[in-house]
Amino acid sequence: MKRKTEQLMTEGEAILSAIRQVQMQLECARNSFEAVTDAALIDSYIYQIISLQKKYEYFLRTAKEMGLTHGYQKIS
């Protein structure tokens, strides 16, 4: 039982880490989008932002399914 709890905590930490990483990537992509003027680069950043938003939604959904909230795992 203890081992399963430890494994869930490790998985949960990985999910939360991935969420933070995607948030930073989104911020960088949005800042870059605001800074460029070339049409091809604008399109590139639009696709990158959309892709990162989908990834962010996936990790949020996974965290919710695991019962993770604000960096802490719910204990039942």
What is the pLDDT, as a whole number, of residue 25? 98
Q: Cα(52)–Cα(21) distance, rounded to whole angstroms?
A: 10
Neighbours of 38 (CB within 10 A): 8
Task: Tell me how crowded residue 11 is: count the other CB atoms within 10 A of its CB.
Answer: 14
Query: Could you tell me the pTM of the whole model?
Result: 0.78
- pLDDT at position 5, please? 58
Amino acid making up residue 4: K
Q: What angle do CA 15, 63, 22 make, to 5 degrees?
A: 50
pLDDT means per 10 residues in the chain (76 residues)? Answer: 62 91 97 97 98 97 85 44
CB atoms within 10 A of CB 73: 17
